[in-house]
Chains A and B, each alone.
Chain A
């Protein structure tokens, strides 16, 4: 009688019993980790409260735009972070490709980090676009314009949304590899998009920070920094939470595969 082993499900991570124990240790529901997560969440909330107070009540009123400008503190933080999280994604994807054959267990962690950071990137880029539109309607009179930065941010959002779609559509067992490859392509694409679109047109307010920026009132700096820190902490929290969730999903999948394998071995001849 020919026996079919559900090895297909196990690839690329064939697990030996000691590795299984190791894996459990990594993601076991450790109380320390949970406490750290709670502390982090409380700290994030505290920083966000301070940031909100700074942005809405303490920062001085902007000269021409008035209170409308206050959305900038929220918008800027999301814009900057949505450009940083893709680096986490591509680093995790490259790590996945490197470890895939050498150390499958580490590769699985890297894959979980990649999907977590991609999802948060889509979220932050989406929020950046939404707040930008809310600002654009009263300030420019239009919701949207095909300006360099807006277009770049939109394409960034599209790229990582397509990454998530690929994860959804790709066949079992290949999700990690295929999406890691796409992550590399997306990371290569972002600078090209940025350069080509800048050639195309520019309407967004000129950069405020940096050598050719106009700079801001020193009294606004605390609001910028508190909000940036707060939303960065929130993003890291979301990535961590999603990472833990994805790890548990992976473990449950392995557990199920292993059970199926054991059951097939016990079948009487």
Chain B
């Protein structure tokens, strides 16, 4: 209970900071919008509706993956100003509460972006969902958490590195490959309604398992990373 209090306190702080500056969300929103436009021009979705339906799941996640990476780096640089991070390290609250709060805040930012993006995406790609669209309400948060939990962790890990902007994708992408596979397969399965429901269910379960495993590992190792030296 006390731990939950710490997490909520961190979350509230991050949300307030974001509310005042709105850096991450604005940046991400425009970035994803640009990605959608670039992909639309590159793949010409209006001409080939079936192909579009088959690839749009992948395009959506690639766009979100890249967009969240731009925001994840900023979320920790914010803590570096005025040596806030040093203060956090000295604070008696558990280090992992800081991480969980930050990851939840990032999750909320990306979800907001997704909520705005979804209609735009459907309009630009002329998408017509053939499967059960409510399943997307399950897949999107699970996939987002898979990106955000590892992304927040590795952004903290690379915080003091020489070229951290480059380092984050270099270590996040190989690790996220199985998650990307799972979320893209599940999303495409829903969009095209061509995937056996048993397979679909299995992809969603695997994604949930991935989330659980990595959330655990991140929480266990965060203190080590925060106090690395």
**A interface residue numbers (CB < 8 A to B):** 11-12, 97, 155, 158-159, 161-162, 165-166, 169-171, 173-174, 177-178, 181-182, 184-186, 188-189, 192-193, 195-197, 199-200
Contact = CB atoms under 8 A, between A and B. Distances in A.
Contacts of A166: 158, 161, 167, 170-171
B217 A188 contact: yes
B161 A155 contact: no
B163 A177 contact: no
A185 B217 contact: yes
Given A178-B161, A188-B214, A192-B210, 5 more contacts: A155-B174, A181-B225, A181-B228, A189-B174, A199-B203
Contact of A162 (B163, B171, B199): B171
Given A11-B229, A171-B160, A184-B221, A196 B178 contact: yes
B182 A189 contact: no
Nearest to B228: A177
Nearest to A155: B177
A8 B32 CA distance: 41
B206 interface: yes
User: Which of B185, B199, B224 is most buried by chain A, counting CB atoms within 10 A of its CB?
Assistant: B224
Report, as a range, how many residues of chain B touch the other chain: 20 to 34
Contacts of B166: 169
Interface in B182-223: 182, 185, 199, 202-203, 206, 209-210, 213-214, 217, 221
Nearest to A188: B217
Nearest to B222: A181
A174 B174 contact: no
Given A177-B224, A181-B221, A192-B178, A171 B171 contact: no
Contacts of B206: 195-196, 199
B161 A192 contact: no
B162 interface: yes
A162 B170 CA distance: 6
Nearest to B169: A162
B18 to A, nearest CB: 27
B140 to A, nearest CB: 19
B181 interface: yes
A186 B160 contact: no
Contacts of B229: 11-12, 173-174, 177
B157 interface: yes
B102 to A, nearest CB: 17
Contact of A177 (B150, B158, B170, B225): B225
A196 B179 CA distance: 9
Contact of B181 (A165, A184, A196): A196
A161 to B, nearest CB: 8
Contacts of A186: 175
Interface string B39-80: 000000000000000000000000000000000000000000
Given A169-B163, A184-B217, A189-B178, A174 B170 contact: no
Nearest to A174: B228
B171 A165 contact: yes
Nearest to B177: A155
19 contacts: A97-B224, A159-B175, A161-B174, A162-B174, A162-B175, A165-B171, A169-B158, A169-B163, A169-B167, A174-B229, A178-B161, A178-B225, A181-B157, A181-B228, A189-B178, A196-B178, A196-B206, A199-B203, A200-B181
Contacts of A169: 158, 161-163, 166-167, 170
Nearest to A182: B171
B169 to A, nearest CB: 10
Contacts of A193: 177-178
B132 to A, nearest CB: 21
Contact of B202 (A161, A162, A192, A199): A199
A227 to B, nearest CB: 29
Nearest to A157: B174
Interface string B149-164: 0100000011011110
